[in-house]
Structure 1
Amino acid sequence: MRILHTMLRVGDLDRSIAFYTEVLGMQLLRRKDYAEGRFTLAFLGYGDEAHHTVLELTHNWDTSSYDLGNAYGHIALETPNIVATCDAVRAKGGKVVREPGPMKHGTTVIAFVEDPDGYKIEFIQP
């Protein structure tokens, strides 16, 4: 058993693909329209689906936004230089919502950014 993907519903698929590819450096692995169901799936990641866990973005054609609720947490990405990563996100128009620093009650260095739909992405520096 292994984790295959995490799915997020997004209001504007092209905007979200641009964020995850241009700002966070993922690759668009595949995209498919399901006209009968009026939705599109796009899979993105840092490596092929056979060997890596990926992100599935689901765009329901008739829905432009979602209530994120309070149960969802975040996606976590490891980065060797958290300050440089946050600077690169900002330079590409991304939104850093928690600057790099030690986590509350701990020493692990973390930061958070937000995607165009308001989903949080945590950066962790090993």
Structure 2
Amino acid sequence: MTFQGEQYPGVKAAPAETQGFRLNHTMLRIKDPERSLAFYSRVFGMQVMRRLDFEEMSFSLYFLAKLEDSDNVPEETEARTVWTFSQKGLLELTHNWGTEDQDDFAYHDGNAEPQGFGHICFSVPNVEAAQAWFDEHDVTFVKRADQGKMKDVIFVKDPDGYWIEVIQADRMATMGD
């Protein structure tokens, strides 16, 4: 690896001790696992790699991945758990038991005031085809590809209102300065 990253004030060289560190997953809290799992599997093609239940604390974790043909996922539970926690780019959905039965329950999506968390992002091969797919599946749009100042970028919402950015990698080359 020769590219050392863009350099800005505050950026330091990666210490040798961080060799092998990788971002494994991002966690979102969800109200209703059935609804969220249906959305992420049906609309984005993700699969549940592992579910972990914590009965004493009344919550479950669902680790989802968008598998590629070359992925070799172990069938055996313990080996699959190790595999899951060694991957890049997983989505962890955390369900606190009972929230699905509370009509007025909702998590803060991070984009309403006060803003905080922003979004997760999926890269797709064709942004127009993805937009048509989202229309077919009644996905809620925040922004379509032809709207706003950032063309070719889509924002949709998941069942809990979290924003999902959808991009086409080759159209990002000329974004920004």
Query: Shared topology, TM-score over 0.5?
Result: yes
83-92 or 35-44, larger mean C-alpha shift: 83-92
Distance, in Å, in 1 between the alignment partners of 2:139 and 2:146 is 18
TM-score, normalization by structure 2: 0.64
Distance 1:67 1:36, change over 3 A: same
Match of 1:37 in 2: 57
- What fraction of aligned residue pairs are identical, expressed as a percent? 43
Matched positions, count? 124
In the alignment, structure 1 residue 60 sits paired with structure 2 residue 96? yes
The structure with the greater share of residues assigned to helix is 2
SS of 1:100's equivalent in the other structure is coil
Q: Is the 8 A contact 1:86 1:96 kept in 2?
A: no
Distance, in Å, in 2 between the alignment partners of 1:29 and 1:65 is 26
User: For structure 1, which runs of at least 5 residues remain unmatched after alignment?
Assistant: none
Residue-by-residue CA offset, 1:19-46 (whole Å, 9 max, x unaligned) = 1010111111111221111001001011
Structure 1 ranges of 4+ moved more than 2 A: 47-52, 62-65, 101-104
Deviation at 1:78, TM superposition (A): 0.8
Larger RCO (CA within 8 A; separation ≥ 6): 1
- RMSD of aligned C-alpha atoms? 1.9
Match of 2:134 in 1: 89
Deviation at 1:102, TM superposition (A): 7.5
Match of 1:51 in 2: 87
- Larger Rg over CA atoms: 2
Residue-by-residue CA offset, 1:91-126 (whole Å, 9 max, x unaligned) = 12222221113773x6x6211110000000001112
Q: Is the 8 A contact 2:143 2:154 kept in 1?
A: yes
The structure with the greater share of residues assigned to strand is 1
TM-score, normalization by structure 1: 0.88
Match of 2:39 in 1: 19
In the alignment, structure 1 residue 122 sits paired with structure 2 residue 165? yes
Q: Is the 8 A contact 1:109 1:125 kept in 2?
A: yes
In the alignment, structure 1 residue 78 sits paired with structure 2 residue 98? no
